[in-house]
Amino acid sequence: MKSKTSSFNMTIFRKNLTHYWPIWVVYLCYLIMVVPVSIGLIYANVENNYIGNMPFEHKQYYVVGSMLSDAGSVIPVFVAAAVAALAVFSYLYNPRNANMIHSLPVDRRELYITNYVSGFVFLFVPELIAFIAGVLVCLANQINCIQYVFYWFIDIAGVSFFAYSLAVFVAMLTGNIFAMPFYYLAVNYLWIGGTKMIQNISSLICYGVSDTWSYNPSSILSPLDYLFHNLSMGIEYDKDYVQAVGVTISGGKIVAAYAVAAVVITVLAYVLYKRHKVETAGDVVSISILKPVFRWLSGICGGGLIALAVSALLLEYIKMNEFICLFILMLVFGSICFLAAEMVLQKSFRVLCKKRIMEWVGFAAAVLILLGCFRIDVFGIERRIPDASEIEAAFVNMDYPIYISKEQIPEILKLQQQCVDSKDEYLSVYKKEKNYYYTTFRYYMKDGSMFERRYPVSVTDTALKDKKTVAYKLAALEADQDNLMKQVLGDGYKENDYYSGYLTVYNGRGESDVYTFSRDESNILKEAIEQDVKEGNFDAYQLPAVYKDEQESIYTNSLSLSYYGKGNGYQTWDYYYNYMDYRNMRNNNVMVGDASGSCYIQVGPKCVNTIRVLKKMGVINDTWHLYNYNELEEIQKNTGVAE
């Protein structure tokens, strides 16, 4: 009679459920708090506060959306997945337990499937219970948009499937219980960490490359971080950001892609488990072929990170060639990390043998070749200029960031090409440490990434007068009336409601006071500032690259105007740094620029219209004055008044 082959062992399954019950109980308690309890508390709070009178349709969207904004976090899911995988496969990390379990009349397929299902049940069942409880609480409060709670359940279950499969796969790579969480974290952030390190290396030794890093499509290879930033749930508001008109959930396709990947990862984990050697229990790396990978990754990543940190300190105080400095430091610290990794693998300090020394020589050569490729631009990093069709938004920043219209983008790309072609000239000026000013070209790409280059543009008197130079063209762009008005008064200066402001003034002893402007005074002052911008009176204070000699005359008095934005009340710098956030908010119908803001304005003696208005208001008079930094410092020094 043919014996029956089982793929699932109920005894082991029950043992896992009862032995590791704290894991799924704690996770269940967390989900109960963030789903059904949260819905009930938020609903009760809405009923009892000032928005209790809002229409019920909007109220239910507010309640469910508020709950999802917290319950949609993927970090607890990944943590629970790692703990579950570590628990059910913990016997692999103890030689005695590993030998005992594998001596039972149970084949490895049955062990793997049973333990895998056990751990996944720790996640899935609590999520299912929380979903059902959440639906019941919604129905009890007559909330009928329960489909969003279902969408939450599907997305979180998909994330759990991937996170747990990845944790199981990582669990097969090591025989050390302490190494597994470290590997799990490393796998989730290795790609982003590596790309950031490469970005920093290239910025140090490649012309024009900045150290600014941004997300791009390849960031999907760092799952935890990518899901954290791309799986979002919350409230959808109307265009006035007053009423909740729906619930927004984005990232479902990303979760589906990860779920498909989880199937492949689960199969690979099974293959590794079938070949897992019991005698590797306790080893940091349980697969022999991965031991060189462990050494090299430790040397390159560990050594690279330490080298970058130390070089940043050294180059600040010591004048040295960046390439030579980085190579020496990467060789030294990379070698230390390389040998330290081997010590961990061998569990001994005696690791210097002929074979390992030869491997180290290869490692050192690889470091030299890698850095050399960056230095001579083998990868074309320095020469790369994006195509206009790939760009969604462009900015250029010499003295202040300027948003470039789509029609102007081709001209800006030509300016960047001119900077690339002027490499020798610009580096020569940079090494002399004078007559240059950093200029940044920043492009937000249609694929969601950000491309940036930063050049030390020559701003000699000759360059600023030559219409063919980058410096002249950028200065003309910055002196454009509309651009300068946006820099001084905010991007929405034509529509903003300026309702208040203040000016710090000083008396003859250097003592300070603050004058607060009324709404009427703020608007009068705003008109005076506009007039000064039109007459070019602000150029000397807003364009330090061009008017280097005028900077000492800028008044140190703090001048600010506060406003309510009407559609695009953001400030130029804020928009420059956070363009993608604004774009995502617009796409999700979330408030953009409708909140209050403030513009901080630098004025000087040439701002005659502004100064005249301040005198007419009595803000500055025989007692209270405007001083530049040197004047104020001298007065306070003579009078003993601290600034």
* Higher pLDDT among residues 391 and 50, named by residue: 391
pLDDT for residue 596: 66
Q: Residue 135: pLDDT band by 50, 70, 90 thresholds? A: very high
Q: Which residues are registered as beta bridge partners of 599?
A: 561
Q: Residue 113: pLDDT band by 50, 70, 90 thresholds? A: very high
Which of 542, 536, 517, 535 lies closest to 602 in space, CA to CA? 542
Question: Which H helix or E strand runs over 114?
Answer: helix 108-140
Contact criterion met (CB below 8 Å) for 223 and 327? no
Q: Residue 585: pLDDT band by 50, 70, 90 thresholds? A: low
pLDDT in tens, 137-184: 999 988 888 999 999 999 999 999 999 999 999 999 998 899 999 999
Lowest mean pLDDT among 460-464, 585-589, 600-604: 585-589
Q: Residue 248: pLDDT band by 50, 70, 90 thresholds? A: confident
Name the phi and psi angles at 320, rounded to 5: -155, 150
pLDDT in tens, 436-462: 999 999 999 988 889 999 999 999 888
Contact criterion met (CB below 8 Å) for 187 and 107? no
Give the rounded percent of residues in the chain with a pLDDT score beyond 70. 93
pLDDT for residue 472: 93
What would the two tokens of residue 499 be? Answer: 């309702």
Contact criterion met (CB below 8 Å) for 169 and 73? no
Q: Residue 4: pLDDT band by 50, 70, 90 thresholds? A: low
Return mean pLDDT, the chain: 88
Return d(Cα 627, Cα 637) in angstroms, integer: 14
DSSP string, 455-518: EEEE--HHHHH-TTSHHHHHHHHHH-HHHHHHHHH-TTTTT-EEEEEEEEEE-TTS-EEEEEE-
pLDDT in tens, 510-567: 899 999 999 999 999 999 999 999 999 999 999 998 888 888 899 999 899 998 876 5
pLDDT for residue 3: 45
User: Residue range 334-353: average pLDDT?
Assistant: 89
User: Residue range 97-112: average pLDDT?
Assistant: 85
Helices (H), ranges, 277-405? 291-297, 303-317, 322-346, 354-375
Return d(Cα 208, Cα 227) in angstroms, integer: 31
pLDDT for residue 330: 93
* Higher pLDDT among residues 349 and 48, named by residue: 349
> Which amino acid, 307?
A
Return d(Cα 257, Cα 538) in angstroms, integer: 53
Contact criterion met (CB below 8 Å) for 162 and 226? no
pLDDT for residue 595: 53
* Higher pLDDT among residues 595 and 16, named by residue: 16
Q: Residue 605: pLDDT band by 50, 70, 90 thresholds? A: very high
What pTM, to 2 d.p., does this model score? 0.82
Residues with Cβ within 8 Å of 548's Cβ and at least 6 positions away in sequence, in order, are 459
Q: Kindly tell me if the per-residue pLDDT of 240 is higher than 70.
A: no
pLDDT for residue 280: 80
Question: Would you mind telling me the total number of residues written for the chain in this entry?
Answer: 643
pLDDT for residue 419: 94
Q: Residue 212: pLDDT band by 50, 70, 90 thresholds? A: confident
pLDDT for residue 278: 83
Could you state, in order of their start, the residue ranges of all structural domains in the chain? 10-194+213-280, 288-375, 389-475, 481-639
Return d(Cα 389, Cα 368) in angstroms, integer: 37
- Per DSSP, the three-state class of 437 is strand
pLDDT for residue 114: 94
Lowest mean pLDDT among 7-11, 195-199, 342-346: 7-11
User: Residue range 320-336: average pLDDT?
Assistant: 91
Q: Kindly tell me if the per-residue pLDDT of 352 is higher than 70.
A: yes
Q: Residue 33: pLDDT band by 50, 70, 90 thresholds? A: very high
Q: Which residues are registered as beta bridge partners of 456?
A: 438
pLDDT in tens, 472-497: 999 999 999 999 999 899 888 888 88
pLDDT for residue 550: 86
Give the rounded percent of residues in the chain with a pLDDT score beyond 90. 58
